[in-house]
Amino acid sequence: MFEIRQRDGLARIGRLTTPHGALETPTLLPVVNPRKLTLAPAEIRDCGATGLITNSYIISRHDELRERALADGVHALVGWDGPLMTDSGTFQSHVYGDIEVEPQAIVEFQRDIGSDIGTVLDVFTEPEFDADRAEAELAETQARITAAVPLKGEMLLAATVQGGSHPALRERAAAQVSTVDADMHPIGGVVPLMEQYRYAELATLVLAAKRALVTARPVHLFGCGHPSLFALAALLGCDLFDSASYAKFAVDGRMMFSWGTRRLAEMEELPCGCATCSTTSADELKALPAEERERQLARHNLLVSFAELRRVREAIRDGLLWELVVARAAGRPEVGDALAALESHGDWLEQWEPAFRPRQPIANREPLLRFARGRLTRTATGGASFEHPLFGTVPEPLADTAPLRPPGNVRQRSWTPERVHAIATFQFGGSAADALLGGEVELVTSRNTGRLRNVLVDGEHRLSLSARYGLFTLRTAGACVIHAACAAPQQRVVVHADSAEFNRQGRNTFCKFVLECDPDLRCQDECLIVTESDELVAVGKLKVAPVEIALGQQGLAVKVREAV
């Protein structure tokens, strides 16, 4: 149902399959009011939307809408043929107090009107509630989730994480919802934090949930609809967002941008290249009739939102999402507050840090610093070194190695066994490097570029160099040497016997067959695939973080390079 295709720390690009099509995440589900459409669904699609969310509680309370939805389905009701999620009335209870609907009945109603993703009617726990009240309301939410699961039928079910402003309750709630047969997990009860710009608290509560949520399911951040927040929310591991802000802001004459909000009445020019702003002027927009101006501003807000989501996804592909969040913090100091709050979670976040990234990081990101400095402690400090603006003192032999390359052009350096040993130590540790290079070393370089290609020891091809990252890939002979020299669980991914038979044939390893993983490994690290009895069967590249596997990730675990 949810396939994760690329990662950048907690952030991921995924594909969520529903009965009415697929959603590429991270993405926004614009809220459509079934009683009043600011923009027609076709216009919303033209702005970049691939899915919508509407409110089943409003539909259920309106006789005509209810009958039409039950007769023709909710997709026909709102004029949308793509993925469609329905909310349950929880937000209405936050705004208006008690609502007239039974929790189980609203789940059945969402199922009966053909919602692709239905939502449990959870209890919206206000951030100011004390721990005792938040815990009592969480118990009610958990009971409703348990009762809703048998009722969902073929509908995907969103089971919300509540817990107020108490991180321990959020983590407990996440652990509980991860055990039920749900399909998605919204983070609920956080709209007041976003409205009050309490982004540091928001980040802390989202991370508390992420510590316990099963990673194979998407995470939805309820009420997140401003483009200035999308990069931060994705960095925290959220996959889906929803909001009616694009329309509400338009009614109030406000225009959204990735760096903040401006009132049209205060603007002389439009600092935007969207399809709305590039074909009109600020004065022309101001002169439009109220209804048409509202429509054009709503269109602008959605166009800007989906443009920002494209930037977010591309930043994830490049491994530069943290840098994008830093850029957004320049316009929204509250985003900077959230980044500062992440420092206290550095040890946990470091577990998600990949061994290398497609592009060279430039931001002072705490997880990356912890990862790089931890690996630098493996490498001897004697000899020549240079000062890196992020990582401090770095041995000279690692100057072309990701992520330690200094800014600017990288100059060519001669290849020596000592330089090879330094890189191998940085990657695999001192004992592994000593074993890998224990013998007569032959360095095979390119005649044209002088770059190192392969490392042979005693005639065996043990290592190859990735010129792009300055890191080694293990060949079979090298894997055998590390396996013999390093005790379990070092460098190892332990797999079930059923998987081992396929891995011996050069096929990939999947998460569900992984029994154990060296906790010091990171995503993109070289690794050994072994059986429970420590028989080496293959060598490859780890494609997930060990912590992901522990949290129930599915899909590809190790991309096998060679069978043994």
Average pLDDT, the chain: 94
CATH number at residue 539: 2.30.130.10
> Which of the pair, 96 or 280, is modelled with greater confidence?
280
- Does residue 387 belong to any structural domain of this protein? yes
> Residue 62 in 3-state DSSP?
coil
- Does residue 282 belong to any structural domain of this protein? no
> Which of the pair, 40 or 96, is modelled with greater confidence?
40
**pLDDT tens string 218-271:** 999 999 999 999 999 999 999 999 999 999 999 999 999 999 999 999 999 999
The per-residue pLDDT for 233 is: 98
The per-residue pLDDT for 83 is: 98
Contact at 8 Å (CB) between 118 and 149? no
Catalytic residue among 46, 81, 87, 242: 87
**pLDDT tens string 40-90:** 999 999 999 999 999 999 999 999 999 999 999 999 999 999 999 999 988
Average pLDDT on 532-540 reads 98
Contact at 8 Å (CB) between 513 and 499? yes
Q: pLDDT class for 120, splitting at 50, 70, 90?
A: very high
| Spatial strand order in the sheet of 21-25 | 2-8, 11-18, 21-25
Distance CA 374, CA 134 (A): 39
| Spatial strand order in the sheet of 460-466 | 441-445, 452-457, 460-466, 471-474
H or E stretch covering 486: none
H or E stretch covering 161: none
The per-residue pLDDT for 95 is: 75
Q: Among positive and negative, which fits the CA dihedral 525, 530, 534, 536?
A: negative
Nearest to 35 by CA among 3, 59, 11, 7: 59
How open is the CA angle 70-141-216, to the nearest 5 degrees?
Answer: 80
Average pLDDT on 357-378 reads 89
The per-residue pLDDT for 35 is: 85
- Does residue 258 belong to any structural domain of this protein? no
Distance CA 281, CA 370 (A): 48
User: Roughly what angle, to the nearest 10 degrees, separates helices 333-342 and 199-210?
Assistant: 40
Among 477, 497, 532, give the residue marking a domain's end. Answer: 477
The string of DSSP codes covering 512-541 is GGEEEE-TT--TT-EEEEE-TT--EEEEEE
Average pLDDT on 381-389 reads 83
**pLDDT tens string 23-48:** 999 999 999 998 888 899 999 999 99
Average pLDDT on 294-303 reads 97
Same domain as 459, residue 404: yes
Contact at 8 Å (CB) between 356 and 471? yes
Pairing assessment for the beta strands 526-530 and 492-495 based on DSSP bridges:
parallel
Average pLDDT on 520-531 reads 97
- Does residue 278 belong to any structural domain of this protein? no
Q: Among positive and negative, which fits the CA dihedral 201, 207, 212, 214?
A: positive
Same domain as 22, residue 169: yes
58 is written with which tokens?
Answer: 């409003």
Contact at 8 Å (CB) between 114 and 82? no
Same domain as 512, residue 473: no
300 is written with which tokens?
Answer: 């602008």
The per-residue pLDDT for 411 is: 59
Q: What is the CA radius of gyration of the chain?
A: 26
Distance CA 101, CA 56 (A): 11
Distance CA 411, CA 121 (A): 60
Same domain as 522, residue 435: no
> Residue 138 in 3-state DSSP?
helix
Among 245, 269, 297, give the residue marking a domain's end. Answer: 245
> Which of the pair, 93 or 461, is modelled with greater confidence?
461
Q: Is 324 exposed, middle or buried (0-12, 13-18, 19+ CB in 10 A)?
A: buried
Contact at 8 Å (CB) between 460 and 477? yes
> Residue 82 in 3-state DSSP?
coil
Q: Which residue has the tokens 């005792």?
A: 132
Contact at 8 Å (CB) between 5 and 13? yes
Residue 207 has pLDDT above 70, yes or no: yes
Same domain as 46, residue 165: yes
Q: pLDDT class for 21, splitting at 50, 70, 90?
A: very high
Distance CA 135, CA 124 (A): 12
H or E stretch covering 386: strand 385-388
Question: In 210-243, which positions are buried (b, 16+ CB within 10 angstroms) versus exposed (e)?
Answer: bbbbbbbbbbbbbbbbbbbbbbbbbbbbbbbbbb
- Does residue 301 belong to any structural domain of this protein? no
- Does residue 59 belong to any structural domain of this protein? yes
Output the 3-class SS for 95-153.
HHCCCCCCHHHHHHHHHHCCCCEEECCCCCCCCCCCHHHHHHHHHHHHHHHHHHHHHCC
The per-residue pLDDT for 140 is: 96
The string of DSSP codes covering 291-307 is HHHHHHHHHHHHHHHHH
Residues shown for the chain: 564
**pLDDT tens string 190-204:** 999 999 999 999 999
The per-residue pLDDT for 410 is: 57
The per-residue pLDDT for 407 is: 78
Residue 93 has pLDDT above 60, yes or no: yes
pTM score: 0.94
> Residue 397 in 3-state DSSP?
helix
Residue 208, amino acid? A
**pLDDT tens string 420-434:** 999 999 999 999 999
Same domain as 98, residue 192: yes
Residue 112 annotated among the catalytic residues of the structure: no
Same domain as 466, residue 529: no
191 is written with which tokens?
Answer: 């709209």
Same domain as 523, residue 496: yes
- Does residue 316 belong to any structural domain of this protein? no
Among 212, 245, 278, give the residue marking a domain's end. Answer: 245
* Residue 49, φ and ψ in degrees, nearest 5: -75, 140
Domain count of the chain?
Answer: 3
Cis peptide bond N-terminal to 489, omega within 30? yes
- Does residue 192 belong to any structural domain of this protein? yes
Distance CA 120, CA 102 (A): 11
> Which of the pair, 531 or 407, is modelled with greater confidence?
531
Same domain as 185, residue 137: yes
Q: What sections of 319-437 are H helices per DSSP?
A: 321-331, 333-342, 346-350, 366-376, 417-428, 430-436
The per-residue pLDDT for 413 is: 73
Residue 412 has pLDDT above 70, yes or no: no
**pLDDT tens string 499-509:** 999 999 999 99
CATH number at residue 44: 3.20.20.105
Residue 364 has pLDDT above 90, yes or no: no
Nearest to 239 by CA among 544, 22, 489: 22
**pLDDT tens string 386-410:** 999 889 899 999 999 999 988 775 5
Average pLDDT on 91-98 reads 75
CATH number at residue 428: 3.10.450.90
Residue 450 has pLDDT above 90, yes or no: no
Residue 455, amino acid? V
Give the contacts of 292 (CB within 8 A, at least 6 positions apart). none
Same domain as 472, residue 491: no
Same domain as 113, residue 10: yes
Same domain as 150, residue 7: yes
Residues spanned by the domain of 90: 2-245
Residue 96 has pLDDT above 90, yes or no: no
